[in-house]
Amino acid sequence: MHPDLEKLLSLQDIDREIVRLTEEVAALPKRVAEIETKLAGAKAAVEHTKDAIKGNETARRNLESDIKSHQEKISKYKAQSLDVKTNEQYKALMHEISFAEQDIRAAEDKILELMEGTEAQEKAVKAAEAALKAQSADVEREKAEAKALTAKDEQALSEWNAKRKDLRTAVSESMLAHYDRVIRTRRPAIAEARDQKCPACNVMLRPQKYNEMKMGGDVQTCDACSRILYYDPAHEPPPPVETKKKKKKTVAEEEHVPEHTEAETTAH
């Protein structure tokens, strides 16, 4: 294999690892942000339920105030009924008392409904707060792990970049320029040719080019995608196994019938 090609293959492995580490480092803050967003959503849900409980308490106080007002009206109407002089006036007061009593019963039913709702909400808040406490601990643990992994990746990146710098100085300028030009738009920049094809773009190679690669001459590139190609004889498929052809019988052999001995004839 051409010396530049060996170095470029090593460089491609290094570049691949640098890309992986860079993507991992970039993804970690995003992951932490997603966790914190989820945690913020859980906190908001707890606060929303607490606000709903407060709203229920306010509504219940308003209903209790309404009941008190209706009770005062009933007392007032009963006192007035003692002074009425006509039957129509008395009936009108009784209707007002009946309406007020209906309003009181409706308000009491609503208060009972609110109390039941508040009880369920308070249980939900307690459970949510317990889950939120555990979730907060998980977030802090994941943030610590992400921070440690980031530091580890950044250290590895520094080492890989140093190796990359040293290796690039050992490759010829023309080959390095071609490699850089390809890798900016296509990955991988180097591919192993097999079965007279570029495996990256699946385009057939000219026989002459493929044969030159097999002979280990100059570095070849794909005419279609410009990738740098190499050939590995270890991956050459084995030659097809030749099957033995069945010998055809001659006419004389097909017409020949074995003769029976006299003893065999007598036996029959």
* Secondary structure class of 190 (helix, strand, coil): strand
Q: Write out pLDDT tens, residues 168-190.
A: 999 999 999 999 999 998 889 99
Query: In this predicted structure, what is the pLDDT of residue 190?
Result: 93
pLDDT band at 136 (very low <50, low <70, confident <90, very high): confident
Backbone dihedral angles phi then psi of residue 232, each to the nearest 5 degrees: -120, 110
User: Which letter, b or e, does each residue of 96-129 get, where b requires 16 or more Cβ atoms within 10 Å of its Cβ?
Assistant: bbeebeebbeebeeebeebeeebeebeeebeebe
Domain boundaries defined on the chain? 13-168, 173-234
Q: 100: which residues sit within 8 A by CB, 6+ positions away?
A: 70, 71, 73, 74, 77
Q: Provide the sign of the torsion angle of the four alpha carbons 222, 223, 225, 228, taken in this order.
A: positive
248 versus 33: which is more confidently predicted?
Answer: 33
Give dist(CA 14, CA 5) in Å, integer: 14
How many C-beta neighbours within 10 Å does residue 28 have? 18
Check: CB of residue 84 under 8 Å from CB of residue 93: yes
**pLDDT value, residue 171:** 92
**Residues 59-88: tens digit of each pLDDT:** 999 999 999 999 999 999 899 888 888 899
Among 35-39, 253-257, 259-263, name the one with the lowest average pLDDT: 259-263
> Which of 5-14, 53-62, 76-85, 249-258 has the least mean pLDDT?
249-258
**Tens digits of per-residue pLDDT, 16-36?**
999 999 999 988 888 888 888
Radius of gyration of the chain (CA): 46
Q: What is the CATH number of domain 13-168?
A: 1.10.287.1490
DSSP state of 187: S
* pLDDT at residue number 268: 44
What pTM value is reported for the model? 0.56
